Amino acid sequence: MKNLEIAQIFERMSKLLEIQGEIVFKIRAYERAAENIANLTEDIAKLREEKRLSEVGGLGTALQEKIGEYLDTGKIHAYEELIQKIPESLLDVMNVPSVGPKKAKLFFDELKIKDIEGLRKSADQGKLLELPGIQAKTVENILKGIKVLQAGQERMNLGVAVDLSDQIIAQLKKLKSVKKISVAGSLRRMKETIRDIDILVVSLDPQKVMDAFVSLPQVKSVNVHGETKSSILTNENIQVDLRVIDEKIFGAALLYFTGSKNFNVKLRQIAIKEHKKVSEYGIFSVKGDSEKTLASKTEEDCFQALGFPYIPPELREDIGEKELFGDEGFAKIKKVPSLLELEDIKGEWHVHSTYSDGHDTICAMAESARQRGYQYLAISDHSPRLRVAGGVSVEDLKKKKKEIDELNGGYKDFRILFGTEVEIDSDGNLDYNDKILSEFDIVIAAIHSGFEQSRDKLTRRLVKACSHKSVNAIAHPTGVHLGKRDPYDIDFKEVCKAAVDHNTYLEINAFPHRLDLNSAHVYFARSQGVRFVINTDAHRAEHMGLMKFGVAVARRGWLTKKDVVNTLSLSEMLKQIKK
């Protein structure tokens, strides 16, 4: 599929146009197209063949033609022209947090800075300070930003990793000789960001599996093509390793290659105390020079041989280490909590519709939620202050409420809730007045601007929002954008306290670019008595399928069903959220 390649080019074009100072409308058109294409579940070439490109939101004829051009020739002329004028590497410069298009252009025009290395040099040498409007604090932020960006580029978000591994596994499963297949590594632990993908296979014909693997359509280059291990680089420069494992030791290998490293070290230390040994080949008892295999075929057997209950991959992290191994580090957990499951989710509070920047109507969103077996869905569009996202005016709220009431008239076992994602302004005030806010079924409050405020001020904004009598939840509480923007600086403990004191829920935003709160935050907040809501922040119906990533974060944070409000039935949920 060429979807991602095209989305990437359109995204670059939007940014290059921004640097060039193009009109906002044109920039947004490319940006929206990029986002919508990246989120397509169908092959864009197929859509084009079937003349259905116009079904993709935001694709006018000009953009459709460019897609056709790329599919036919592998190039887009307008893009080639753009990068003649502006070096593409300026995009990296622009993407550095606290640089942006205007400064990138300024640096390029005045100092001929065209890549990150150049930016770093000029910052270090004090040259940036000579430019108008650039202060010492700006330079400091830019240097910090370069670090964030470079750390992010080495990792992909969980959504990308899961998509890619699903594709590869589906292709390998078609081979008759593949008996078992599983991801391992940080992907199996569902870490928020992933460096590379590990896959384990049981097969009677390893050579055939390896040959098939290195000739997958996703492969750009082959690093290793061995008999039991191969390693490839995909078109998106993602490394994928495949190992063929003997079925007899699959459990031990899976345990070993799933990690985390620290978790494995812990298991090994505990084993040594009991004269046992843990390796990728099994769990062994050791007496003098002789070793006896205790377990190796399944992970369950291996854990049992070490005296542990089965520990789900999401918990094999440093995050809950003390709960697993006690303060001294050598205790053994007796019982693992039964973690939240995707099937426990009964609805969600945070999706958008065409009333703000969503792609689908309220009706379409509700239908999709119903098909997922949900009992309710709150349509929480933006408030007016967020102009770029088409915040809903007070006038339009009435229309929206009426539409929801009418649709609800037709449902017996489902309810659309009248919601909002209301802006928290720079002083912690909300974007609708109290009377209007009291009319919503669900109010989630969010910060979308003023990230650079002081820790104290940002914390106070969130605390004030938590204490508002109509606010039910804080959306994406830390503002992180994985690989692009660090979380803003807040006293998270204070925010947790305010949330608990005022019966306000903290969101786990399931969108893979956010995953905010992350699992470490969740684990801490849980210890403070916080309760959670998991939302996808869907901007189109199919995004509601991203819920699994929010559930993964919740599991990594040790949450059970009772910690999460949207596992409750509609009536029970409405009862519990009363302030």
Candidates 56-64, 174-182, 267-275, 418-426 — which segment interacts with Zn ion by CB under 5 A? Answer: 418-426
Measured from the CB of residue 419, what is the shortest distance to Zn ion in angstroms?
A: 10
31 or 421: whose CB is closer to Zn ion? Answer: 421
Candidates 127-135, 137-145, 416-424, 560-568 — which segment interacts with Zn ion by CB under 5 A? Answer: 416-424
Name the maximum alpha-carbon separation found in the chain: 81
Measured from the CB of residue 396, what is the shortest distance to Zn ion in angstroms?
A: 17
Rounded to a whole number of angstroms, the CA Rg of the chain reads 26
Binding mask 337-356 for Zn ion (x = CB under 5 A): --------------------
201 or 379: whose CB is closer to Zn ion? Answer: 379
Whole-angstrom distance, CA of residue 429 vs CA of residue 431 = 7
Measured from the CB of residue 447, what is the shortest distance to Zn ion in angstroms?
A: 8
56 or 378: whose CB is closer to Zn ion? Answer: 378
Residues binding Zn ion: number (CB under 5 A)? 3
Measured from the CB of residue 263, what is the shortest distance to Zn ion in angstroms?
A: 34
The residue to which tokens 């608990």 are assigned: 500
Assign residue 447 a region (left: φ > 0; alpha: ψ between -120 and 50; beta: otherwise). Answer: beta
168 or 446: whose CB is closer to Zn ion? Answer: 446
Candidates 59-67, 220-228, 410-418, 445-453 — which segment interacts with Zn ion by CB under 5 A? Answer: 445-453
Among 299, 421, 486, 507, binds Zn ion (CB under 5 A): 421
H or E element in which residue 295 lies: strand 290-295
360 or 537: whose CB is closer to Zn ion? Answer: 537
3-state secondary structure of 152: helix
Helix ranges (H only) for 22-60 are 24-38, 44-49
201 or 446: whose CB is closer to Zn ion? Answer: 446
Measured from the CB of residue 557, what is the shortest distance to Zn ion in angstroms?
A: 21
CA angle 509–512–513, rounded 5-degree value = 90
The residue to which tokens 């694709």 are assigned: 59
The residue to which tokens 């769990």 are assigned: 283
Contact between 531 and 563 under an 8 Å Cβ cutoff? The reply is yes
387 or 578: whose CB is closer to Zn ion? Answer: 387
Contact between 274 and 268 under an 8 Å Cβ cutoff? The reply is no
Measured from the CB of residue 537, what is the shortest distance to Zn ion in angstroms?
A: 4
Query: What are residue 365's phi and psi, to 5 degrees?
Result: -65, -45
* Dihedral Cα 14, 15, 16, 20, nearest 10 deg: 100
Measured from the CB of residue 363, what is the shortest distance to Zn ion in angstroms?
A: 19
Measured from the CB of residue 81, what is the shortest distance to Zn ion in angstroms?
A: 35
243 or 382: whose CB is closer to Zn ion? Answer: 382
18 or 423: whose CB is closer to Zn ion? Answer: 423
Candidates 304-312, 444-452, 479-487, 510-518 — which segment interacts with Zn ion by CB under 5 A? Answer: 444-452
The residue to which tokens 């009333």 are assigned: 355
Whole-angstrom distance, CA of residue 579 vs CA of residue 572 = 14
Candidates 10-18, 94-102, 286-294, 446-454 — which segment interacts with Zn ion by CB under 5 A? Answer: 446-454
Measured from the CB of residue 281, what is the shortest distance to Zn ion in angstroms?
A: 48
Binding mask 496-525 for Zn ion (x = CB under 5 A): ------------------------------
Measured from the CB of residue 352, what is the shortest distance to Zn ion in angstroms?
A: 6
Measured from the CB of residue 236, what is the shortest distance to Zn ion in angstroms?
A: 27
- Interacting positions 536-575 with Zn ion (CB under 5 A): 537
314 or 423: whose CB is closer to Zn ion? Answer: 423
Candidates 52-60, 86-94, 215-223, 531-539 — which segment interacts with Zn ion by CB under 5 A? Answer: 531-539
Structure tokens at 123: 């910052």
Query: What are residue 336's phi and psi, to 5 degrees?
Result: -95, 135
The residue to which tokens 């017996």 are assigned: 412
269 or 426: whose CB is closer to Zn ion? Answer: 426
According to the 3-state scheme, what is the secondary structure of 76-136?
Answer: CHHHHHHHHHCCCCHHHHHHCCCCHHHHHHHHHHHHCCCCHHHHHHHHHCCCHHHCCCCCH
- Interacting positions 95-154 with Zn ion (CB under 5 A): none
Contact between 383 and 431 under an 8 Å Cβ cutoff? The reply is yes
List, edge to edge, every strand of the sheet that includes 290-295.
276-279, 282-287, 290-295
Whole-angstrom distance, CA of residue 244 vs CA of residue 386 = 52
Binding mask 23-42 for Zn ion (x = CB under 5 A): --------------------
Contact between 407 and 362 under an 8 Å Cβ cutoff? The reply is yes
Contact between 541 and 365 under an 8 Å Cβ cutoff? The reply is yes
18 binds Zn ion (CB under 5 A): no
105 or 521: whose CB is closer to Zn ion? Answer: 521
446 binds Zn ion (CB under 5 A): yes
Contact between 262 and 318 under an 8 Å Cβ cutoff? The reply is yes
- Per CB under 5 A, residues contacting Zn ion are 421, 446, 537
